C-alpha cells in the first residue's frame, strides 16, 4: 500500500520541483533553447530573472543556485555553450550573481554564489568577464564605508586568485589600491574578515613576481600587522590562513630575513600605532606547537622547516633558544604520519646547529626518536622510514663525544634493535640510510654505557652484512625487453658500490670499537652474566665474530665487486678493516694472515698500489695498503710454518725495513722484477726497497700466490745476490733466507747454478753462526745444498740434521706401512730418496747423523735409511755403510769401552741399520774381512754390556744371528769361531738365559728370544765344526723343561727359540762342549730306570711331551714348526736309548686328539708342513692307533688331488718326506695313487731340493732376527 502511495506521489513531486526551477511569470517569454535538456530541467533565463527578484524566497533561490551549480559540474560544456553565445549575457549573469552575493546575508547562499561565480569564470575563460568581476569587487570594496560586509567579496577574490593564479599580478597592477583595503581588513575586529584577507594575501604571495612587487608593502605595512594577528589569532580558520600566508612568505629569502630579523621587527612595530609589543616568530610557532590541533601542529612544523631550509646556521639558534626541539620530540609520539614526518624534517635541519646538542636536546629526545622509529618502521610509509632513519643518523653522527647520548644500556639496546629492523628493510634507500646510521651508532661514546651489549651489536652487524650480501647478489637491472643498457648497468654497479662502502664503513667502526674497548677492563664482558652461562657477551667473542664475519661476508663481497669495478675509497676502508683485525684478534692473526696470503692478498694489494698510488694521488689508500702489508708480513714472518721464527731483534729490524720501504713500492710485477735485477750500484734506500720486494715475493710464493714467473724470479734473485757480493754487503738474515729459498724452488731442474752464485751463497752462509736461522724446510732447498759439492761438504751435515728435525711425518707409521708392503711414500721422503740415489755418499752423512744427533732425529734417520735400503735394493751401498759404521764403532769403543751404554743414544739405531744392511746381503755370500771385523767389534761391544742394555743388545744380537745364518757354511764356521772367542759374550748369554725364569729383572722377551736363538746357533756351529771353546755356558735343564711346560703368555717366539735350543741339545745327545745342561738344585736324583735317558728322566720326558702338545694346540705356524722339530729330536733321542719309551711317547692316545685338532683348521689343512712332518713321525714309529693305514691312504689321495704347484718348498719337502716314509714302511694300499703323487713330486723336486735360502726366510719378527730354516729344519 505504501509503495503504491509513493508511486502516486512521485509525479507530483517531479512537477513541483520543475515548477520551482521555473519563473512562471516570465518563463513563457523565454526561448526554449535556454531550457536545459538534461535534468534538472533548469531554464537559464528564468534563473537570471528569478535570483535577483526580491519577492522570491531565499530557499527557492538557494535551490536554484544549487541546481545551477550541479549542472555546471555535470554538463559544463552545455551550459557554457549557451551562456557564451552572447557576452552581454555572461556579464549580466556575473553581475547578477555578484549582486546576490553582496546583498544576501545567508552564508550558505553566499558560498553557493562564490562557487558558481568561480566555476563560470574559469569555464568561460573570457578576459572581459574576469575584468568585470574584478572591477565589481574593487568597486564594492572601495564603496564600502566599513569592512563589515567585505567578507564575501574578500573570500571571492581569494578563491578567484586561487583558481586563476595569473590574476594575482593583474590584481596588484591594475587594482593596486586594493592593498590598502586589505590592510583595513587585517585590523578589522573580525577574525572571519582577517582570515579572508590572509587567504587572499597567501594567494598573492604564492606568485614570485607578485611577491617581489609586494615586498615593500610587506616590509612597510603588512609585516607587523601580520605577526601580531598570527600571535593573537583565536579561531582555527584564521590560524590556518595565517600559517598558509606564512608558508608562502617563507619561500623567499627576503621575507625570511625580515621576519627573523628582530631589529627590523621592533622598528616596524614602533611605527604602527596601537599594535602590541614585540613578538617573535619562534615564540609564535612554539605557541601553535603547544596547541592540541594536529593540523596546526603540522603547519607550524612546516613553517619552522621552511625557515631553516634557507640557512640553518642563521636561524636555528632562535628556534633552539625557544625550545622548539623539545616540542618536536614530543610530537614524535603522535599517531599522525604527517606530523611525525614533518617533525623528522625539522629536527634534521635543527641538528645542523651545534647548540642543538650542547643544550642536550638530543639527550632529552633520543628515547622519543628511537620509539618513533620503531613505530614508523611498522608502517608502510617509505618516506617516513627514510626520514626517521636519517634523523637518527644525524643525531648519532653529530652528537659530541663528551655528551653521552644513551643514559642506559636498555636504551642503547632498543636503539640497536631499531637500526637492525631498519637495516633489514626491503627498500634500498631506507636500508642505505640505516647502514649509515649503524656506522654512526658504532662509536665508543654511544656504546660505553655498561654493560656493553655485544650480543646486540653482533645481531646488528649480521643484519647489516646480510642485507648487503643480498643486495650484492641480486642480478643487475634489466629492461622490460632485452638486456640492460651499459648506462643502467653502470648505475647499478655504482649503487652497489656505495652501499657496500657504507656497509664496510660500519664494519670498520665496529672494528675500531673493539680496539678501543681492549684497553677498558669494564668493557671486557657483561658483569651481570651468570658464571655458568656461555660467554657470548664478551669482547673476545665479539672480536672473533668480527674476524669470522670479515672472512664470511666482507672479503667475498669485496672480491665479487672487484670483478665489476674498483673504487679507491672502498678499498681504503676494506684494507683498514683487514689491518685492524690483526689488532682485534691477536691470538688468531697467524691463521688469519696465512689465509689472506694464500688467497692472493699480497698480489691484490700490490696491484692496487700500482694502479692508484704510483703518483701523489690516493695517499690514504697507499698508506693503509702499506700498513696492511706490513702487519701481514710481520705476522707471517713471526709464525712461519717451515722455518725458525726470527728473533725479536731481527723482527724489529724487518719491521722497520718494511715500514720505510712499503709506501714507496707502487710498481707492477715486471717492473719490480727488473728493479730487483738491477746490477748497477744500488744505494741504501733503493736496497731497502729491494729487500721489501724480495720479502713480498717470498711470502707470496710460500703461500702459493705465484703471480710472477718462477724463471724470471730466479734470474732476479740470482742477480740480487751477485749484486750484494759485488758491493760487499751482507743481507739481513730474513732477506737471505727468502733469497736462498726462492733460488732453490724457482731453479729449473735441468739447470745448474753458476759457480759465482754458489760461491756467493757459500760466502754468505759462512758468515752465519748457525744455518737454522736461514733454513726453510723444503725438498728443493735440501737439493740445493746436497747437489753442489762445495755446499754439501761444508753444510750438508747441518742441513740434513735440520731437515730431519723439521720432518713432521710419523716415521713409525711409515715403517709399519712399508713393512705391510704399501709402496706409497710422502712427497718429502720421495724427494730425499731421489737425492740419495743420485749421490749415495750422502748416506755417510746420514750415518753420522744417527750417531751424533739427538735420539729423536737419529730415530727418524734410521727409519729413512731403512726404508731407502728396502725400496732400493739395486743401490749397492752395503760396503760403504759397513765400512763407515766400523769406524764409528771403533771410535765408540775407544771412547766408551767400559760403558757403551753411556755413548750416543743413537747407537741402537746404528746397530739396527747394520742389521738391515746385513739382511740385504745375498745368501751364500762369503763374509769378507770387513764383515769379520764388524763381527768382532759387535761381539766385543756386546761383551761390555749388561743384560739391561736391551736397546744395544737387541740389534747387536740380530746382526750376529743374521751373520751366522746368511752366509756359506765355511763363512759360518769362521764367524762362529770369532764369536766363540769372545768369552765376555758367552758369559753375557749365560746370564741372559738364566734370566728367562727369573722373577724380577728379566729383560724384554725379544732379547731373550735372540739370546736363545744365538746360543742354539753357537752350539750347533761349535759341535758341527768341532770349534775350540774358550768359555762354557751352563743352563739348568729343569728350568728349560719347566718353561716349556708352563710357557709365558704371548711368548710364542720365546717358546720357539727355547725349543730350537732344546732340539739342538737333543740332536747332540746333550754332549755339547759349549753348553752344559746341569740339573736344577732342587731336582731329586734320577731313578735307576732313567739311567738310559740321562740327563732326562721319564717324568721330564712325559712333561715335555705334554708341553709340546699344548704348544702345538696354539696353532702358531712358527711355534708349530719348532714343536714338531723338537718332538722329532726327542723321539730320535729316546729311540736311541729306550725304543720302548719312544714308542710309548709316539703312541699316546692324546696324540690322535692333537692330530685331529690340528687338522680341524680348514680345507686341506693336512698339507701344512708341520702337520705332514707330525704324521710322518707317527708313521715312522708305527703309531697306527694315532694314524691308521686307511687314514694314510686318504691323506695320499687328498695330496694327489691337490694343486701341488701352489705349495711352498717347505710343504713339498714335508710331503715328499711323508710319501717316502709311507713307502719305506710298506703302508701303501693304492699304489697307483702313490705313483701319481711321486711323479708329481719328482717334477717339482728341483724346487724342493734347492739349498738356496730365499730372503723371505730371513725375517725380523717383533724386533727379533729369525731364520725360518734354522727353526724349521
Residue 993: all three cell numbers together: 738365559
**What pLDDT digit, counting tens, does each position of 1107-1132 carry?**
988 888 888 889 999 999 999 999 99
What's the pLDDT score for residue 13? 45
- H/E element holding 250? none
Torsion of CA 138, 144, 147, 152, to 10 degrees: -60
**What pLDDT digit, counting tens, does each position of 700-717 carry?**
999 988 888 888 999 999
Residue 404: all three cell numbers together: 653521552
Say if CB 667 and CB 730 are below 8 A apart: no
What's the pLDDT score for residue 108? 81
Say if CB 734 and CB 654 are below 8 A apart: yes
Confidence band for 119, pLDDT divided at 50, 70 and 90: confident
Chain center to CA of 573: 20
CA distance 713 to 425: 52
In sequence order, the β-bridge partners of residue 1034 are 1076
SS3 753: coil
For residue 1010, with 0-12 CB atoms within 10 Å meaning exposed, 13-18 middle and 19 or more buried, which class applies? buried
Say if CB 382 and CB 342 are below 8 A apart: no
Q: Say whether pLDDT at 733 is over 80.
A: yes
Angle among Cα 159, 163, 169 to the nearest 5 degrees reads: 90
What's the pLDDT score for residue 1162? 66
Confidence band for 28, pLDDT divided at 50, 70 and 90: low
CA distance 1104 to 1044: 7
For residue 54, with 0-12 CB atoms within 10 Å meaning exposed, 13-18 middle and 19 or more buried, which class applies? exposed
- H/E element holding 166? none
DSSP state of 807: -
Say if CB 1010 and CB 958 are below 8 A apart: yes
* 33 to 14, 52, 352: CA distances (angstroms): 21, 22, 68
φ/ψ (deg, to 5) at 1261: -105, 110
**What pLDDT digit, counting tens, does each position of 624-661 carry?**
999 999 999 999 999 888 888 888 999 999 999 999 99
Confidence band for 51, pLDDT divided at 50, 70 and 90: confident
Q: Which residues contact 615 (CB under 8 A, 6 or more apart)?
A: none
CA distance 1239 to 170: 143
Whether this model's pTM surpasses 0.85: no
Is the CA virtual torsion 596, 598, 600, 603 positive or negative?
Answer: positive
Q: Which residues contact 819 (CB under 8 A, 6 or more apart)?
A: none
Confidence band for 1171, pLDDT divided at 50, 70 and 90: confident
Classify residue 1226 as left (phi > 0), alpha (psi -120 to 50) or beta. Answer: left
Which residue, 131, 101, 139, 128, is CA-closest to 117? 101
Which residue, 1061, 1050, 1035, is CA-closest to 1005? 1050
Which residue, 461, 346, 374, 360, is CA-closest to 407? 360
Higher pLDDT, residue 808 or 1175 = 1175
What's the pLDDT score for residue 276? 46
What's the pLDDT score for residue 1095? 87
What's the pLDDT score for residue 1016? 94
Classify residue 1107 as left (phi > 0), alpha (psi -120 to 50) or beta. Answer: alpha
CA distance 1108 to 1134: 15
Long-range CB pairs of 315-318 (<8 Å, 24+ gap) are 315/256, 315/260, 316/349, 316/350, 316/352, 316/353, 316/355, 316/356, 317/353, 317/355, 318/260, 318/280, 318/281, 318/282
Residue 758: all three cell numbers together: 754458489
Ordered DSSP codes for 505-540: HHHHHHHHHHHHHTT-GGGSB-TTS-TTS---SBHH
What's the average model confidence in pLDDT over 102-118?
Answer: 81
For helices 324-331 and 337-350, give the axis angle rounded to 10 degrees: 150
CA distance 777 to 828: 10
Confidence band for 1, pLDDT divided at 50, 70 and 90: very low
Q: Which of 17-31, 508-522, 734-748 has the lowest mean pLDDT?
A: 17-31
DSSP β-ladder status, 1264-1267 and 1258-1261: antiparallel
For 73-138, give the secondary structure using H, E and C.
HHCHHHHHHHHCCCHHHHHHHHHHHHHHHHHCCCHHHHHHHHHHHHHHHHHHCCHHHHHHHHHHHH
Torsion of CA 45, 46, 50, 55, to 10 degrees: 140
**What pLDDT digit, counting tens, does each position of 827-852 carry?**
888 888 888 888 877 878 887 887 77
Torsion of CA 921, 927, 931, 936, to 10 degrees: 130
CA distance 1240 to 245: 130
| Helices assigned H by DSSP within 399-485 | 409-423, 428-441, 444-447, 454-473
Instruction: Give the chain's mean pLDDT.
Output: 83
For helices 236-249 and 223-232, give the axis angle rounded to 10 degrees: 140
Residue 436: all three cell numbers together: 649509515
> b/e per residue, 622-660, with b = 16+ CB within 10 A?
bbbbbbbbbbbbbbbbbebeebbebeeeeeebbbebbee
Q: Which residues contact 683 (CB under 8 A, 6 or more apart)?
A: none
CA distance 432 to 500: 9
What's the average model confidence in pLDDT over 352-357?
Answer: 92
What's the average model confidence in pLDDT over 794-810?
Answer: 84
Higher pLDDT, residue 1051 or 27 = 1051
Q: Which residues contact 1012 (CB under 8 A, 6 or more apart)?
A: 993, 996, 1054, 1057, 1058, 1060, 1061
Higher pLDDT, residue 215 or 679 = 215
Residue 627: all three cell numbers together: 700498513
CA distance 803 to 642: 10
- H/E element holding 1260? strand 1258-1261
CA distance 1056 to 1013: 9
**What pLDDT digit, counting tens, does each position of 1203-1258 carry?**
777 788 888 888 888 878 877 777 666 666 667 667 666 655 544 444 344 446 78
Higher pLDDT, residue 315 or 1049 = 315
CA distance 538 to 453: 9
Residue 26: all three cell numbers together: 516570465
Chain center to CA of 416: 26
For helices 151-163 and 167-174, give the axis angle rounded to 10 degrees: 130
What's the pLDDT score for residue 877? 59
Amino acid at each position: 500500500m505504501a509503495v503504491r502511495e509513493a508511486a502516486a506521489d512521485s509525479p507530483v513531486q517531479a512537477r513541483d520541483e520543475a515548477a520551482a526551477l521555473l519563473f512562471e511569470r516570465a518563463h513563457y517569454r523565454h526561448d526554449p533553447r535556454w531550457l536545459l535538456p538534461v535534468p534538472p530541467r533548469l531554464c537559464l533565463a528564468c534563473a537570471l530573472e528569478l535570483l535577483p527578484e526580491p519577492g522570491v524566497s531565499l530557499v527557492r533561490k538557494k535551490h536554484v543556485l544549487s541546481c545551477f551549480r550541479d549542472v555546471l559540474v555535470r554538463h559544463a560544456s552545455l551550459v557554457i555553450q549557451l551562456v557564451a553565445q552572447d557576452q552581454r549575457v555572461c556579464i549580466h549573469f556575473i553581475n547578477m550573481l555578484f549582486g546576490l552575493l553582496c546583498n544576501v546575508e545567508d552564508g550558505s547562499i553566499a558560498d553557493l554564489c562564490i562557487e558558481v561565480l568561480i566555476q563560470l569564470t574559469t569555464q568561460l575563460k573570457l578576459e572581459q568577464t574576469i575584468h568585470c568581476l574584478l572591477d565589481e569587487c574593487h568597486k564594492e570594496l572601495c564603496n564600502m564605508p566599513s569592512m563589515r560586509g567585505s567578507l564575501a567579496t574578500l573570500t571571492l577574490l581569494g578563491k578567484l586568485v586561487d583558481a586563476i593564479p595569473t590574476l594575482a599580478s593583474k590584481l596588484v597592477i591594475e587594482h593596486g589600491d586594493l592593498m590598502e583595503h586589505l590592510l583595513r581588513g587585517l585590523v578589522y575586529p573580525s577574525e572571519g574578515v582577517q582570515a579572508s584577507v590572509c587567504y587572499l594575501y597567501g594567494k598573492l604571495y604564492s606568485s614570485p613576481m607578485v611577491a617581489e612587487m609586494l615586498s615593500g608593502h610587506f616590509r612597510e605595512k603588512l609585516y607587523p600587522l601580520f605577526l601580531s594577528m598570527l600571535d593573537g589569532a583565536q579561531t582555527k580558520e584564521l590560524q590556518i590562513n595565517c600559517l598558509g600566508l606564512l608558508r608562502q612568505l617563507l619561500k623567499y629569502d627576503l621575507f625570511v630575513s625580515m621576519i627573523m630579523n628582530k631589529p627590523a621587527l621592533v622598528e616596524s612595530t614602533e611605527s604602527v600605532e596601537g599594535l602590541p609589543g614585540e613578538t617573535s616568530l619562534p615564540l609564535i610557532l612554539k605557541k601553535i606547537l603547544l596547541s592540541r590541533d594536529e593540523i596546526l601542529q603540522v603547519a607550524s612544523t612546516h613553517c619552522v622547516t621552511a625557515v631553516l631550509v634557507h640557512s640553518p646556521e642563521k636561524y636555528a639558534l632562535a628556534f633552539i633558544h625557544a625550545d622548539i626541539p623539545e616540542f618536536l620530540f614530543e610530537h614524535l609520539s603522535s599517531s599522525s604520519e604527517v606530523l611525525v614526518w614533518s617533525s623528522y624534517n625539522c629536527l634534521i635541519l635543527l641538528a645542523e646547529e651545534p647548540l642543538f646538542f650542547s643544550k642536550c636536546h638530543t639527550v632529552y629526545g633520543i628515547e622519543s626518536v628511537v620509539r618513533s622509529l620503531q613505530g614508523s618502521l611498522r608502517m608502510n610509509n617509505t618516506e617516513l622510514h627514510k626520514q626517521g632513519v636519517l634523523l637518527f643518523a644525524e643525531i648519532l653522527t653529530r652528537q659530541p663525544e663528551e655528551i653521552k647520548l644513551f643514559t642506559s644500556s636498555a636504551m642503547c639496546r632498543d636503539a640497536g634493535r631499531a637500526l637492525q629492523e631498519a637495516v633489514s628493510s626491503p627498500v634500498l634507500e631506507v636500508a642505505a640510510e640505516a647502514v649509515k646510521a649503524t656506522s654512526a651508532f658504532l662509536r665508543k661514546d654511544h656504546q660505553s654505557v655498561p654493560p656493553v651489549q655485544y650480543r646486540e651489536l653482533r645481531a646488528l652487524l649480521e643484519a647489516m652484512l646480510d642485507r648487503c650480501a643480498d643486495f650484492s647478489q641480486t642480478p643487475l637491472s634489466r629492461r622490460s625487453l632485452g638486456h640492460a643498457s651499459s648506462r643502467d648497468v653502470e648505475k647499478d654497479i655504482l649503487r652497489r658500490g656505495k652501499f657496500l662502502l657504507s656497509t664496510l664503513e660500519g664494519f670498520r667502526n665496529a672494528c675500531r670499537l673493539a680496539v678501543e674497548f681492549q684497553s677498558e677492563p669494564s668493557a671486557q664482558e657483561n658483569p651481570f652474566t651468570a658464571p655458568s652461562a656461555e660467554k657470548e657477551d664478551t669482547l673476545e667473542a665479539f672480536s672473533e665474530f668480527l674476524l669470522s664475519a670479515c672472512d664470511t661476508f666482507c672479503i667475498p663481497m669485496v672480491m665479487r665487486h672487484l670483478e665489476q669495478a674498483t673504487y679507491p675509497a672502498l678499498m681504503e676502508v676494506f684494507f683498514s678493516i683487514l689491518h685492524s683485525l690483526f689488532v682485534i684478534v691477536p691470538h688468531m692473526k697467524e691463521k688469519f694472515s696465512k689465509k689472506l696470503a694464500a688467497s692472493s692478498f699480497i698480489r691484490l694489494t700490490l696491484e692496487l698500489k700500482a694502479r692508484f698510488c704510483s703518483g701523489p694521488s690516493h695517499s690514504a689508500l697507499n698508506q693503509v695498503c702499506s700498513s696492511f702489508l706490513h702487519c701481514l708480513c710481520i705476522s707471517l714472518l713471526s709464525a712461519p710454518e717451515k722455518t725458525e721464527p726470527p728473533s725479536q731483534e731481527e723482527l724489529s729490524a724487518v719491521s722497520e725495513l718494511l715500514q720505510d720501504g712499503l709506501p714507496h713500492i707502487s710498481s707492477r710485477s715486471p717492473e719490480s722484477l727488473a728493479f730487483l735485477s738491477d746490477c748497477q750500484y744500488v744505494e741504501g734506500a733503493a736496497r731497502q726497497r729491494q729487500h721489501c720486494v724480495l720479502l713480498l715475493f717470498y711470502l707470496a710464493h710460500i703461500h702459493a700466490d705465484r703471480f710472477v714467473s718462477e724463471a724470471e724470479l730466479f734470474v732476479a734473485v740470482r742477480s740480487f745476490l751477485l749484486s750484494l757480493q759485488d758491493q760487499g754487503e751482507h743481507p739481513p738474515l730474513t732477506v737471505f733466507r727468502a733469497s736462498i729459498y726462492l733460488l732453490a724452488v724457482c731453479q729449473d731442474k735441468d739447470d745448474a747454478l753458476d759457480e759465482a752464485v754458489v760461491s756467493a751463497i757459500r760466502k754468505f752462509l759462512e758468515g752465519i753462526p748457525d744455518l737454522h736461522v736461514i733454513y726453510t724446510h723444503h725438498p728443493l732447498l735440501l737439493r740445493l745444498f746436497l747437489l753442489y759439492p762445495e755446499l754439501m761438504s761444508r753444510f750438508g751435515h747441518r742441513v740434513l740434521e735440520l731437515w730431519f728435525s723439521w720432518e713432521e711425518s710419523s716415521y713409525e707409521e711409515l715403517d709399519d706401512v712399508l713393512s705391510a708392503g704399501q709402496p706409497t711414500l710422502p712427497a718429502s721422503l720421495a724427494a730425499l730418496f731421489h737425492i740419495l740415489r743420485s749421490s749415495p755418499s750422502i748416506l755417510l752423512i746420514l750415518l753420522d747423523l744417527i750417531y751424533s744427533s739427538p735420539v729423536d732425529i737419529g730415530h727418524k734417520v734410521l727409519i729413512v735409511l731403512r726404508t731407502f735400503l728396502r725400496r732400493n735394493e739395486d743401490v749397492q751401498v752395503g760396503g760403504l755403510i759397513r765400512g763407515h759404521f766400523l769406524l764409528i764403532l771403533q771410535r765408540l769403543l775407544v771412547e766408551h769401552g767400559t760403558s757403551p751404554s753411556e755413548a750416543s743414544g743413537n747407537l741402537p739405531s746404528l746397530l739396527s741399520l747394520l742389521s738391515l744392511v746385513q739382511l740385504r746381503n745375498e745368501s751364500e755370500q762369503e763374509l769378507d774381512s770387513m764383515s769379520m771385523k764388524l763381527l768382532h767389534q759387535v761381539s766385543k761391544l756386546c761383551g761390555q754390556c749388561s743384560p739391561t742394555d736391551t736397546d744395544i743388545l737387541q740389534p747387536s744380537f740380530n746382526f750376529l744371528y743374521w751373520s751366522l745364518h746368511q752366509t756359506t757354511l765355511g763363512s759360518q764356521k769362521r764367524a762362529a769361531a770369532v764369536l766363540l772367542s769372545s768369552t765376555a759374550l758367552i758369559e753375557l748369554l749365560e746370564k741372559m738365559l738364566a734370566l728367562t725364569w727369573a722373577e724380577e729383572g728379566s729383560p724384554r722377551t725379544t732379547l731373550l728370544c735372540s739370546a736363545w736363538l744365538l746360543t742354539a746357533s753357537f752350539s750347533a756351529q761349535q759341535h758341527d765344526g768341532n770349534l775350540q771353546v774358550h768359555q762354557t755356558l751352563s743352563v739348568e735343564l729343569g728350568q728349560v723343561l719347566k718353561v716349556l711346560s708352563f710357557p709365558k703368555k704371548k711368548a710364542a717366539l720365546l717358546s720357539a727359540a727355547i725349543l730350537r735350543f732344546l732340539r739342538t741339545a737333543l740332536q747332540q745327545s746333550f754332549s755339547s762342549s759349549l753348553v752344559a745342561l746341569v740339573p736344577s738344585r732342587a731336582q731329586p736324583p734320577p731313578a735307576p730306570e732313567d739311567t738310559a735317558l740321562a740327563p732326562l728322566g721319564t717324568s721330564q720326558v712325559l712333561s715335555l711331551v705334554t708341553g709340546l702338545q699344548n704348544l702345538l694346540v696354539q696353532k702358531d705356524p712358527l711355534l708349530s714348526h719348532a714343536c714338531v722339530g723338537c718332538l722329532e729330536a726327542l723321539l730320535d733321542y729316546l729311540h736311541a736309548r729306550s725304543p720302548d719309551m719312544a714308542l710309548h711317547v709316539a703312541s699316546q692316545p692324546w696324540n690322535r686328539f692333537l692330530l685331529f685338532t690340528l687338522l680341524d683348521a680348514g680345507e686341506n689343512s693336512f698339507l701344512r708342513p708341520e702337520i705332514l712332518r707330525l704324521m710322518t713321525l707317527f708313521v715312522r714309529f708305527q703309531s697306527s692307533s694315532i694314524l691308521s693305514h686307511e687314514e694314510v691312504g686318504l691323506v695320499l689321495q687328498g695330496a694327489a688331488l691337490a694343486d701341488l704347484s701352489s705349495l711352498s718348498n717347505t710343504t713339498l719337502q714335508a710331503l715328499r718326506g711323508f710319501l717316502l716314509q709311507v713307502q719305506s714302511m710298506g703302508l701303501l694300499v693304492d699304489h697307483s695313487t702313490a705313483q701319481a703323487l711321486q711323479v708329481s713330486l719328482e717334477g717339482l723336486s728341483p724346487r724342493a731340493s734347492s739349498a738356496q735360502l730365499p730372503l723371505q726366510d730371513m725375517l725380523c719378527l717383533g724386533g727379533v732376527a729369525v731364520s725360518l730354516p734354522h727353526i724349521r729344519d
